[in-house]
Amino acid sequence: MYIYQHENWPHFIWDQTRVLTLLAQVKWAQGLLLGKMQNLGLEIKGKAQLQSLTEEILKSNQIEGQLLNVQQVRSSIARKLGMPAEDIPVSRDIEGTVDMMLDATQYYNAPVNKKRLCAWHKHMFTSGKSGWYAIQTGCYRDDKLGPMQVVSDPMGMEKVHYQAPDASVLDGEMEKLFDFVNNDKTDNVIKAGIIHLWFVILHPFDDGNGRIARALTELLLARSENRPTRFYSMSSAIEKERKMYYKQLEITQRGDLDITEWLVWFLEILEKAIKNADVLLKTTLDKAKFWGKHQSESFNERQSKMLNMLFDGFKGHLTSTKWAIICKCS
């Protein structure tokens, strides 16, 4: 019996004491991080946001086995946020994926509805394909090829981990989800955990459901902080515990309406993501500290350029020949 087959679906319940204790810890971690970032200049905060969003998009796709080009993702985000960007060609699917994430985080207070999510889906799959396979884009699945199932193992030996609700009920079920996102007064951090699970349970699209669930999570976390800037990556923390992520989802999807264990796991991962922001943003913050410490000293253009390249992770050995080529000097 799947969770959506229970009589009181979708009225989730959870242990208030356990969940609220963890929520307080998450709120504390959020406050500490935001306080630390508040003291940095606009330029540094912009670079930190660029780093966090890049990491979020890369890791959200990596969870699903999709490896995106780092430079293309970073360049696309920078251009769309009005920052200096590398002049490199960017694939349409990456541009679309970036558009989806920026819509979620920059317009976090805008209503969530079918039109908006279908636009996200269409942006993600601009070619109308997922890998080699043609899929329906910009609309809910229709199950013409059979029920939506999450399976593993080779063809002919498939193990069914989960079967989603029939396509015929999706419109009604998704409207309940939208009403909860837009109107329910539940704390937005808890709501992020609930919606992440709820969306994956419904699995409304042919593909990309996990990535859209994580984009909705980012939207609700932005609401919880009442700001569009992201300084940590939830997907980065999830990717490190990918097997447990899928295990928790499978257990909860096959359980009853008590989602305490899922929310506990979600909040613990979120707290790790926030606390790991120092590691994620180390390069950006180290660079800021260096230039702050030496702001009264003068560096020529070549020195500034090379120091920034070293902070950004120069690969290989730096030789005088490479220096001359990079800085266009003798």
CATH of the domain at 137: 1.10.3290.10
Burial-class residue 146 by CB neighbours within 10 Å (0-12, 13-18, 19+): exposed
Residues 226 and 314 in one domain: no
Residues 319 and 267 in one domain: no
The strand pairing partners of 133, in sequence order, are: 130
33 lies in a domain?
yes
pTM above 0.75, yes or no: yes
288 lies in a domain?
no
Amino acid of residue 105? T
170 lies in a domain?
yes
Residues 220 and 313 in one domain: no
290 lies in a domain?
no
Average pLDDT on 247-276 reads 97
Amino acid of residue 173? E
Residues 34 and 94 in one domain: yes
Greatest CA separation found in the chain?
77
pLDDT at position 231, please? Answer: 92
pLDDT at position 130, please? Answer: 85
293 lies in a domain?
no
pLDDT at 60 over 80: yes
188 lies in a domain?
yes
Residues 248 and 132 in one domain: yes
The mean-pLDDT minimum among 2-11, 41-50, 317-326 falls in 41-50
Q: Which pLDDT band holds residue 156 (cuts at 50, 70, 90)?
A: low
Number of domains in the chain: 2
Q: What average pLDDT does the chain have? A: 92
Q: Which pLDDT band holds residue 64 (cuts at 50, 70, 90)?
A: very high
pLDDT at position 150, please? Answer: 87
- Both structure tokens of 294: 């030496």
Residues 211 and 94 in one domain: yes
pLDDT at position 203, please? Answer: 97
SS3 label, residue 163 = strand
Residues 18 and 110 in one domain: yes
pLDDT at position 228, please? Answer: 93
Residues 120 and 16 in one domain: yes
pLDDT at 86 over 90: no
> Between the ranges 65-74, 265-274, 276-285, where is the mean pLDDT highest?
265-274
pLDDT at 285 over 90: no
- Among 104, 73, 107, residue whose Cα is nearest residue 88: 73
181 lies in a domain?
yes
Q: Give me the residue label for tokens 């005088």.
A: 320
Residues 98 and 164 in one domain: yes
* Residue 270 domain boundaries: 3-279
Average pLDDT on 189-205 reads 98
Q: Is residue 58 within 8 Å of residue 71, measured between CB atoms? A: no
Residues 246 and 304 in one domain: no
Residues 264 and 312 in one domain: no
The mean-pLDDT minimum among 8-12, 16-20, 33-37 falls in 33-37
Residues 185 and 271 in one domain: yes
71 lies in a domain?
yes
Report how far Cα 275 is from the mean position of its chain's Cα atoms. Answer: 16
3-state secondary structure 83-135: CCCCCCCCCHHHHHHHHHHHHHHHCCCCCCCHHHHHHHHHHHCCCCEECCEEC
